[in-house]
Chain A
């Protein structure tokens, strides 16, 4: 239930912020999302359903917050999928007005109490990604939870064509990395962040301090340039 609530808060907060979506589309989106998750979760939400649908017609974030606290569960629990699906509303759910954009990711990370969120817009001439995000966490468990939640939301929102995304560095507890095509997110502990200083590198590309400290390459004294090697 919690994943649904949080996704709703997330999506509705993004919907609010992005002016591309008009007000009528928002409740439709959220009710669609609700229908999507509803028949896949094994929780009996019949009484909750009416409240949700009602809430969807009003201002979404307010209602969803109320629902979240009503449940009273503080822990993030995963319900197993139930095979008894009443109706196949799969086709409806594919027409999402939400793509996994930067806004979604940022609001997701803020929701997870990420520490020191840093988003860097990568210039076009570096053809690596569009956005480079570095996030700190409180503990390795926190980092792992953030990374897994980000992937979960991404899977929820992705279309057919986009490839899957994996977490790199699962066994390294202090630095995890997720590469979503246009965005790359690095989850690090504060100490690791101090060591690597990725933000400095990616903002001041060649003028980075650590790069300057690398001594320039010098040829050894007995080096002989053999031109024949290069004419092959």
Chain B
């Protein structure tokens, strides 16, 4: 039985979940072990451009982040928005830093990575090679 929070009985329970995956100005979480992604900074990394036709980034899309005052490309490996059935949904918008030539900046990824990346069109084998767990 689900306990309803107090404010739902007041009629204020339309808390909205993620509605549009990853777009400009979303704050993301860098999940690899690169120094750029893990050193603390007073501002969280934000997306400043999504490399797709529409500005929405789903799993497997490249984005441009602003991290520590510099621009860096990254690959989306999970988002809060529910996607296809039978694809994992994550509790945070996860991202792996990538160089311009496609090589990952970090060397290990602890966070689970969706195994559906393998079937997608794109160069994901390198990111899958440094991942530890697959979902």
Residue numbers of A with Cβ under 8 A of B are: 126-128, 132, 168-169, 171-175, 177-179, 184, 186, 192, 195-198, 201-202, 205-206, 208, 210-211, 213-214, 227-229, 231-232
Q: Say how far A125's CB is from chain B's closest CB, in angstroms.
A: 10
Q: How far is the CA of A232 from the CA of B125 in the complex (A)?
A: 35
* Interface pair B102/A168, CB less than 8 Å apart: yes
List which B77-135 residues lie within 8 A (CB) of chain A: 99, 101-103, 107-108, 110, 115, 118, 123-126, 128-130, 132, 134
Residues of the A chain whose Cβ atoms lie less than 8 Å from the Cβ of B107: 195-197, 210
Across-interface contacts of B103 in A (CB, < 8 A): 169, 172, 174-175, 192
A-chain residues with CB within 8 Å of residue B13 when the two chains form the complex: 228
Residue pair A198, B130 in contact (C-beta under 8 Å):
yes
CB contacts (< 8 Å) of B129 on chain A: these are: 132, 177, 184, 186, 196, 198, 201-202
Residues of B within 8 A of A (CB): 2-5, 7, 13, 15, 17, 33, 99, 101-103, 107-108, 110, 115, 118, 123-126, 128-130, 132, 134
Nearest A residue to B115 by beta-carbon distance? A127
How far is B118's CA from A73's CA once the two chains are assembled, in angstroms?
40
Q: Are B15 and A229 interface neighbours, CB within 8 A?
A: yes
Known: A198-B129, A201-B132, A228-B5. A171 touches B108 (CB 8 A): no
Alpha-carbon separation in the docked complex, A197 to B108 (Å)? 10
Q: Which residues in B have their C-beta under 8 angstroms from that of A169? A: 101-103, 123, 125-126
A residues less than 8 Å from B132 (CB atoms): 201, 205-206, 208, 211
- A residues near B124, Cβ cutoff 8 Å: 168
Q: Which residue of B lies closest to A217 (CB)?
A: B110
Contact B125 A184, beta carbon cutoff 8 Å:
yes
Which residue of chain B has the shortest Cβ distance to A214 in the bound complex?
B33
Chain B, residue nearest A205 (CB): B132
Query: When chains A and B are docked, how far (Å) is the Cα of A166 from the Cα of B107?
Result: 23
Contact call B134/A126, Cβ cutoff below 8 A:
yes
Q: Give 10 pairs: A residue, B residue, CB < 8 Å, sorted on A.
A: A132-B129, A168-B124, A168-B125, A169-B101, A169-B102, A169-B123, A173-B101, A184-B125, A197-B107, A231-B4
Is A179 touching B2 in the complex (CB atoms < 8 A)? no
Minimum distance in angstroms from A13 CB to a CB of chain B: 28
* A128:B123 contact, CB within 8 angstroms: no
**Measured between alpha carbons, how far is A119 from B35 in the docked complex, in Å?**
30
CB pair A227 B5 closer than 8 Å: yes
Chain B residue contacts of A132, Cβ below 8 A = 129
Q: Which A residues are CB-close (under 8 A) to B123? A: 168-169, 177
Task: Tell me whether B101 and A172 are in contact (CB under 8 A).
Answer: yes
Min distance, Cβ B14 to any Cβ of chain A, angstroms: 10
Which of B13, B17, B108, B134 has the most chain A CB atoms inside 10 A of its CB? Answer: B108
How far, in angstroms, from A191 to B30 measured CA to CA in the complex? 25
